[in-house]
């Protein structure tokens, strides 16, 4: 029997209850665990309904607060690592699942798909799903780009959704992750990057199972909503620079299916609410830091102080800028964080204007080819 873990902060209690019930009702699940970030309204709601839920499903439903484990900002990483430790110390289950608590398209097939892949002998099962043409911009522009530049000969750049929080680990994998000091230290949004990296570096068998209905959850407004996640995910990638990864990991990707119109026609962020971010709150030091970058990037970014400018930050300019960031960026420096954020915003808007607006199929093909092109260039040392 498996343990299913839902880390959460403040969410819609009805969505959380539904997802916990789905998990508790699944025949492969022996226990469900909700890990709250703090004792707020959602935590109290789960506490109020979990006994009834356990009684009606016959499956124990536990609720705990996340422990303070890592040294980074206390966040998702502490929640997931708390779940791993609970799994090892408090249960005899052989598999652990993680799912975000706010998924509105969650169903029993998510668990069934993961269990089926594990039954075939895979150590790690990752869920992937269709995303809108302007969604997953941290995944594409930060994590997959970083993996392509730093470890082009490995499976890392080929992982479909390296920041996905929908996972299955077997018990030996969980033991390895708890024993990995780098993973346990990553208490913030960077935890998904560390889980992905560590499992591939360890040479494990990874299977990606496709969820055709997609991961429906609350969308964000302007890209400023993602600033903290962006900074923490980039910092996680940069912290791994110099790590050696072999080619021992096996990686299989399930065939995809037709993407529903609800996804292909969806806009992932509010463009009008984002454009102004390029020009506001510049400091003299931030302008000075742009001296690290190619002339065209520096001049284009500085032009934003008077007029929104972004088309210059194309695929080539982003490749060069990302290499510069890997070498020069200083974690925890607020001016570097502002420069990173604005560069990423400009790149996302440039991609939106030149590629995403051409349609879903074009944009997805372009993004895949972009990462593969970066990977091939890195392999050749160009």
pLDDT at position 16: 97
pLDDT at 258: 82
Q: Is residue 216 over pLDDT 80?
A: no
The 3-state secondary structure of the chain reads CEEEEEEECCCCHHHHHHHHHHHHHCCCEEEEEEEECCCCHHHHHHHHHHHHHHHHHCCCEEEEECCCCCCCCCCHHHHHHHHHHHHHHHCCCCEEEECCCCCCCCCHHHHHHHHHHHHCCCCEEEEECCCCCCCCHHHHHHHHHHHHHHCCCCCHHHCCCCCCCCEEEEHHHHHHHHHCHHHHHCCCCCHHHHHHHHHHHCCCEEEEEECCCCCCCCCCCCHHHHHHHHHHHHHHHHHCCCCCCCCCCEEEECCCCCCCHHHHCCCCCCCHHHHHHHCCCCCHHHHHHHHHCCHHHHHHHHHCCCCCCCCCCCHHHHHHHHHHHHHHCCCCCHHHHHHHHHHHHHHHHHHHHHCHHHCHHHHHHHHHHHHHHHHHHHHHCC
Q: Give the model's confidence band at 224: pLDDT under 50 very low, under 70 low, under 90 confident, else very high.
A: confident
Q: Which of 179-193, 255-269, 305-319 has the lowest mean pLDDT?
A: 255-269
Q: Is the pLDDT of residue 220 over 70?
A: no
Give the span between the Cα atoms of 339 and 341, in whole angstroms. 5
Mean pLDDT to the nearest integer, 12-19? 97
pLDDT score of 115 = 98
CA–CA dist 228, 330 (Å, integer): 15
Q: Residue 133: its pLDDT value, please? A: 87
Per residue in 107-158, pLDDT (tens digit) is 999 999 999 999 999 999 999 998 888 889 999 999 999 999 999 999 999 9
Which pLDDT band, with edges at 50, 70 and 90, does 103 fall under? Answer: very high
Q: Return the minimum-mean-pLDDT range out of 60-64, 121-125, 134-138, 224-228.
A: 224-228
Kindly tell me if the per-residue pLDDT of 312 is higher than 90.
Answer: yes
**Residue 213, pLDDT score:** 81
Quick one: average pLDDT of 238-245? Answer: 97
Mean pLDDT taken over the chain? 94
Q: Is the pLDDT of residue 217 over 60?
A: no
Task: Tell me what pLDDT residue 262 has.
Answer: 76
Calculate mean pLDDT across residues 287-311.
97
What domains can you pick out in the chain, each with its CATH number?
Answer: 2-263 (3.90.550.10), 272-380 (no CATH)
């Amino acid at each position: 029997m498996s343990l299913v873990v839902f880390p959460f902060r403040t969410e819609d209690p009805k969505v959380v209850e539904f997802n916990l019930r789905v998990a508790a009702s699944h025949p492969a699940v022996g226990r469900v665990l909700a890990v709250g970030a703090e004792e707020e309204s959602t935590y109290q709601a789960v506490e109020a309904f979990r006994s009834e839920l356990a009684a009606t499903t016959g499956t124990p439903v536990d609720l705990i607060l996340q422990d303070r484990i890592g040294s980074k900002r206390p966040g998702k990483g502490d929640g997931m690592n708390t779940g791993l430790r609970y799994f090892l110390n408090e249960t005899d289950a052989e598999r652990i699942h993680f799912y975000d608590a706010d998924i509105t398209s969650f169903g029993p097939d998510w668990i069934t798909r993961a269990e089926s892949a594990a039954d075939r002998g895979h150590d790690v099962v990752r869920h992937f799903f269709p995303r809108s043409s302007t969604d997953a911009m941290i995944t594409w522009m930060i994590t997959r780009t970083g993996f392509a530049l730093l470890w082009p000969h490995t499976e890392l750049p080929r992982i479909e959704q390296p920041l996905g929080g929908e996972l299955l680990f077997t018990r030996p994998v969980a033991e390895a992750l708890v024993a990995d000091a780098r993973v346990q230290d990553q208490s913030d949004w960077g935890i998904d990057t560390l889980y992905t990296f560590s499992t591939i570096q360890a040479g494990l068998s990874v299977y990606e199972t496709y969820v055709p209905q997609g991961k429906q959850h609350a969308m964000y407004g302007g890209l400023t909503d993602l600033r903290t996640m962006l900074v923490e995910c980039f910092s996680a990638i940069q912290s791994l620079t110099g790590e050696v990864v072999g080619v021992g990991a096996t990686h299989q990707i399930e065939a995809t299916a037709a993407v529903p119109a609800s996804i292909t026609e969806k806009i992932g962020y509010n463009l009008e609410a984002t454009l102004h971010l390029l020009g506001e709150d510049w400091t003299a030091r931030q302008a000075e830091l742009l001296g690290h970058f190619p002339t065209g990037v520096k001049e284009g970014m500085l032009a934003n102080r008077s007029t929104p400018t972004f088309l210059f930050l194309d695929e080539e300019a982003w490749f060069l800028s990302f290499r510069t960031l890997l070498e020069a960026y200083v974690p925890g420096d607020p001016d570097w964080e502002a420069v990173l954020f604005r560069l990423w915003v400009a790149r996302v808007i440039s991609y939106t204007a030149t590629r995403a607006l051409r349609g879903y199929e074009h944009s997805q093909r372009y993004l895949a080819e972009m990462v593969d092109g970066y990977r091939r260039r890195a392999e050749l040392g160009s």
